[in-house]
Structure 1
């Protein structure tokens, strides 16, 4: 079994617990790096790790809620809870970016020299390596489990890695050139980068809450499966789909001869539903039966009567 396959088998809740622990560790390392160097760039990096911690805790809570079974008040389950986690993380990233800009702005007017640069950079690189390894494992598991909350936390960690890389390069340039204004400039660049990532997460969360259709590859698998059952007397139409967290839903009409018995029609419908759910793991299929010569009309004036 490859390392990637092993990562895909990891439980999302376990990985989010690890993310919380790693966030605490990296906050300590990056805060120490800022303390020994006085770099506002490293301070911005440490502030983003605080956001990592809050986001990981919130994501863990939302993943637990999303795993709850359907109940009387939520007959379709709680899967959309993960989108709240992703949206919260995006907003938290945006707040962190604005805070970084606020902290860096005074340094343009009063640049300060840096101290113990070597130690500070070593601490930042060490924390980035830990974040990078965890983010890779989380992305593998998020893909396998279709977890929006886990993916959002992983992408936030990746942003943190790029942030740290930018800070390391910037501080290295400051030490080599003596241009102290580069330190707040790097902090601003870091803030703009994570601001972009935060806006992206908020947008994707909103799309999930808006019942966006399933991915193109999933729809292709659905249509390919239906083709197997198509016949001159059997056809499918009015196919609609939506996503809800890790779940995928499809609704469609199946037309068949009016002379068929209810038992025969129901048996075929069951076969089609099972084939669809086998082709797309986690899919929930709803099929309405209609006679061949009967058409359903949506958004027609008669629907408003």
Structure 2
């Protein structure tokens, strides 16, 4: 799949595809568990159920995030994607705990496996589907700056590693005859996806708390502003910027700053320069929204005064 095609596919389209893939993999992995009676394959199938629920919830949140700003949400609905990431993390943790419980019971009472060949073939086929879907979603997540797509892609990758671990575990059970190894592999899988769930919840919380933009985005902003600060029309026409703050909300990036310029400038000239700065910032960082307050060179804003902190 080419990068051009990934740019054309919207997050909503990819999440719809993820729902379809989840349904197929659930069917394959459930069949694999049914024919083998392996608790490791059961844990793999349970994680695919989480994939389905996460993809459906992500689809709903991405649809909400795409809504335009309105009177009740003047800054848009972009943060809805963070709810998708947090919800997916919670589901992953719940699935991990369920897997541990099921595996612990099987560890106490190991059971022989049946029709291992068919089970492994079905598991490998489902993993291939998940891997292909994750690859496409990672590319689109970068293109659209979508945390919902990134979360779903990471979960799919976790699912692929889960399946790989289960396949290796079942193969070792067949080679060694150690039936308890099936349950141990399932517990290892659960601990791995538990870590991923905690990470997704953390990412979601940081986004909801107005985390600053990425370092490379901040560097692009500073470089753009430096170009205007160094472009002096005359000895007295010095432009400088301060009180720069950034935040990100889903696919959007926001920057607020003060632009100081000579008090002798007319309002029209000052506004024209500000418009040029805004346009340059939005060209340097796609999806950026800039808010620039104009101030004379000899006027400072004091945000750190005690009265401003009350």
Structures share fold, TM-score greater than 0.5: yes
Matches within 5 A, 1:64-103: 64-103=63-102
Match of 1:219? Answer: 218
1:230 is aligned to 2:229: yes
**Could you tell me whether the CA contact under 8 Å between 1:8 and 1:143 is conserved in 2?**
no
**Could you tell me whether the CA contact under 8 Å between 2:62 and 2:81 is conserved in 1?**
yes
Match of 1:61? Answer: 60
CA–CA distance in structure 1, aligned partners of residues 131 and 212 of structure 2 = 31
TM-score normalised by the chain length of structure 2: 0.96
1:13-32 per-residue CA deviation (whole Å, 9 max, x = no partner) reads 11111111111111110000
User: Structure 2 unaligned runs (5+)?
Assistant: 233-237
1:178-222 per-residue CA deviation (whole Å, 9 max, x = no partner) reads 011100000000000000000000000000000000000000000
Q: 1:288 aligns with which of 276, 290, 293?
A: 293
**Could you tell me whether the CA contact under 8 Å between 2:6 and 2:143 is conserved in 1?**
no
1:63-99 per-residue CA deviation (whole Å, 9 max, x = no partner) reads 0000000000000000000000000000000000000
Shift of 1:302: 4.5
Q: 1:243 aligns with which of 245, 248, 255?
A: 248
Shift of 1:299: 1.9
Moved more, 7-16 or 192-201: 7-16
CA–CA distance in structure 2, aligned partners of residues 271 and 3 of structure 1 = 35
Q: 2:273 aligns with which of 250, 268, 276?
A: 268
3-state SS in 1 of match to 2:107: helix
3-state SS in 2 of match to 1:17: helix
Matches within 5 A, 1:104-119: 104-119=103-118
Match of 1:206? Answer: 205
Moved more, 62-71 or 289-298: 289-298
**Could you tell me whether the CA contact under 8 Å between 2:82 and 2:250 is conserved in 1?**
yes
Match of 2:235? Answer: none
TM-score normalised by the chain length of structure 1: 0.98
Number of aligned residue pairs: 304
**Could you tell me whether the CA contact under 8 Å between 2:89 and 2:200 is conserved in 1?**
yes
Match of 1:27? Answer: 26
1:145-183 per-residue CA deviation (whole Å, 9 max, x = no partner) reads 011111101110000000000000000000111011100
CA–CA distance in structure 2, aligned partners of residues 65 and 108 of structure 1 = 44
CA–CA distance in structure 2, aligned partners of residues 302 and 96 of structure 1 = 49
Match of 2:196? Answer: 197
CA–CA distance in structure 2, aligned partners of residues 239 and 112 of structure 1 = 63
Change (3 A) 1:304 1:154: closer
